Amino acid sequence: MSEQLLNNEHEKNAEKIPQSPEVTAYAEKMRNNRETEAKSVEQGNDTDKARHGVEAATKDREKSEQRVAKHELKQDKPVRGNAASRNLAFKKTMKDAQSEMSTPSRAFSKVIHNKVVEKTSEALGDTVARPNVLLAGSLSALIITTGLYLWARYVGYPLSGFETIAAFIIGYLIGIIFDFTRVMITGKR
């Protein structure tokens, strides 16, 4: 009888709770706990244990409902509207995300998500620090420096250390020219 009551109660609550992997796993664990408690009651254990099992199941159900409600509140809907509402939604999202971070991570997040730092980073990423340009500079520095090192070792000429920087600059300039030409031809960034 108590097992039927628990199962009926669980079915009613399952309809209210949205199914997510975390909630489903938690609900399955709680269902297994209640079934074992109900079986022990049917086998003739104390009514106190049965009452305790029902109370524990009720508390577990309330906790899972609170977790689901908290999870639903954190899910943000797409923001449409003016810039002020988008800005407000961004601030809320950042505040929620930073509240779950450690203190050093929160401080670092506040620095990098500062408007001035973000705009500067975007401008540098769009002009000077393009990925293809940096890749070209790095590869040319590796290839040219390796070639110069092998040649200098063969001839017996000492290297000054500026060779790597010069090779990177040469590759960087080649990368800028290549990237600029590609953008001019295809029209895509």
Clarify whether residues 67 and 7 are in a common domain: yes
The answer to whether residue 61 scores a pLDDT higher than 80 is: no
Question: Is the per-residue pLDDT at 112 higher than 70?
Answer: yes
pLDDT in tens, 115-134: 898 888 888 877 777 888 88
Residue 180 pLDDT more than 90? Answer: no
Residue 99 binned pLDDT confidence (cut-offs 50, 70, 90): confident
Same domain, 83 and 70: no
pLDDT at 1 over 80: no
Query: What is the pTM (predicted TM-score) of this model?
Result: 0.43
Q: Which pLDDT score is estimated for 68?
A: 61
Report d(CA 60, CA 40) in Å as an integer.
19
Least confident window among 1-10, 25-34, 55-64: 1-10
Task: For residue 120, tell me if it sits in a domain.
Answer: no
To which residue do tokens 């040649």 refer? 151
Residue 54 maps to a domain: yes
User: What pLDDT shows up at residue 32?
Assistant: 74
**Residue among 13, 3, 16 at smallest CA distance from 53:** 3
Q: How many domains does the chain have?
A: 3
Residues 6 and 70 in one domain: yes
Give the mean pLDDT of the chain.
Answer: 77
Q: Give yes or no: residues 92 and 44 share one domain.
A: no
The pLDDT value given to residue 189: 66
Q: Please give the residue range of the domain that contains residue 48.
A: 2-74
- Asked if residue 35 is part of any domain, the answer here is yes
In a domain, 60, yes or no: yes
pLDDT of 7 reads 54
50 and 10 in one domain?
Answer: yes
Which DSSP string corresponds to the chain? -HHHHHHHHHHHHHHHS---HHHHHHHHHHHHHHHHHHHHHHTT--HHHHHHHHHHHHHHHHHHHHHHHHHHHH-PPPP-S-HHHHHHHHHHHHHHHHHTS-HHHHHHHHHHTSHHHHHHHHHHHHTTS-HHHHHHHHHHHHHHHHHHHHHHHHHTPPP-S-HHHHHHHHHHHHHHHHHHHHHHHH---
What per-residue confidence (pLDDT) applies to 59? 74
Based on the fold, state whether residues 155 and 138 are members of the same structural domain.
Answer: yes
Could you tell me if residue 178 is inside a domain? Answer: yes
20 Cβ neighbours under 8 A, 6+ residues apart = 68, 71
The pLDDT, as a whole number, for residue 70 is: 61
84 and 69: one domain?
no
Examine residue 109 and state whether it is found in any structural domain, yes or no. yes
Rg from Cα positions in the chain: 32
Residues 106 and 46 in one domain: no
If asked whether residues 88 and 68 sit together in one domain, one would say no
Q: Are residues 143 and 180 in the same domain?
A: yes
